[in-house]
Amino acid sequence: MKRLIFLLTIVVVMSFSMSVNAQIDAGSVMGMPTGTTAEINAITTANIGSTAFNTDDESIYWYTSSGWVKAMDDQFDDEVQLRTAIDVDEGGESSPTSEATVKEVIDAIAPITSKAARVFYPPSIAIDASTNGTGRTVNLYTEYVNQFASINTVASTGAPAAVPTYAANELYYYVTYYDPTVFDNISIDANGVMTYDIIGQPADYNSLINVVFVVK
C-alpha cells in the first residue's frame, strides 16, 4: 500500500510539472526591471551589478562604480591581446609583457603595406625650354589632375567617368629627374607649384622632367 501511494505521488508531481510547462505564456515569462533612459539614469544608488532594460534603445544596462553602462560586445583594437605573444621585432624578449599586442602589430605593418598605394608616378611632363628665363613656373598639381582626371578617359565597364584625385594639399611633390644643362634653381611649394630657371636649350626645345607624388 505504501508503495502504491509513493508511485501515485510521483505521477501527481510529474503531471503537475508537465502542466506548468504547458501553461507558459507571455505573462509568466520572467524579466528584469525596465525603464526609459531618464528613469534609469535617475537611479544613482543601485547596487553594483544591478541590471535594467532600457526601453528607449532596447538594450540592457548594468550599474557600475561609474554609473549605468550599456551592455555590449564592442571591443577596441587596443583591448585585444594576442593569445600567445609574438616577437614582432625579433628582439627575443623573454617577458610576455614586452611582446606586441594586436594593435602594435597592425601599427607596425600598416606603413609597410600602404607604401605602394601612397606613391604614384604620372607620365613625364614636357617643359618648354625654347628660351632662357628666370622665375618660370609650372603647376605640377594641375598637370597631375589634367592627366588623371581627364574627361577623355577611356574606362572599363562600370568604372567611374573620372579617376579619383587628391587635393593639392594632400600630396608631397618630388622632381626625380631633370636636365641640369637646361634647368636651374628648381623649387616646389606645398601646393605643387614648381619654380625654375631655363639656362640652356635642348635640341627639340622641350625638356622632360619626372615627377613623383606621395600621399601625406
The strands making up 183-188's β-sheet, listed across from edge to edge, are 133-139, 193-198, 183-188
The answer on 123 and 203 residing in a single domain is yes
pTM, full prediction = 0.47
Name the least confident of 19-33, 41-55, 70-84, 86-100. Answer: 86-100
- Average pLDDT of every residue of the chain: 77
Per-residue pLDDT at 75: 56
Residue 7 domain flag: no
Q: Which of residues 42 and 100 earns the better pLDDT score?
A: 42
Residue 165 domain flag: yes
Q: Which of residues 155 and 68 earns the better pLDDT score?
A: 68
Q: What is the mean pLDDT of residues 17-39?
A: 71
Q: What is the mean pLDDT of residues 189-215?
A: 91
CA distance 149 to 143: 10
Residue 147 domain flag: yes
* Domain end call among 86, 110, 134: 110
Residue 13 domain flag: no
CA distance 147 to 68: 56
* Burial degree of 156 (CB within 10 A; 0-12, 13-18, 19+): exposed
The answer on 102 and 36 residing in a single domain is no
Taking CA atoms, 106 is separated from 44, 84, 91, 120, 214, in Å, by 40, 16, 18, 24, 22
Any alpha helices (H) in 122-192, and if so which ranges?
140-148
Residue 5 domain flag: no
Per-residue pLDDT at 215: 86
* Domain end call among 91, 110, 129: 110
DSSP category for residue 144:
H
- Cα Rg for the chain, rounded, in angstroms? 36
The answer on 97 and 84 residing in a single domain is yes
Per-residue pLDDT at 2: 44
Categorize the per-residue pLDDT at 181 as very low, low, confident or very high, splitting at 50, 70 and 90: very high
Residue 137 domain flag: yes
The answer on 93 and 52 residing in a single domain is no
How many folded domains does the chain comprise? 3
The answer on 154 and 99 residing in a single domain is no
Per-residue pLDDT at 20: 47
Q: How far apart are the first and last CA of the chain?
A: 93
Residue ranges making up the domain that contains 47: 31-74
The answer on 193 and 181 residing in a single domain is yes
Residue 2 domain flag: no
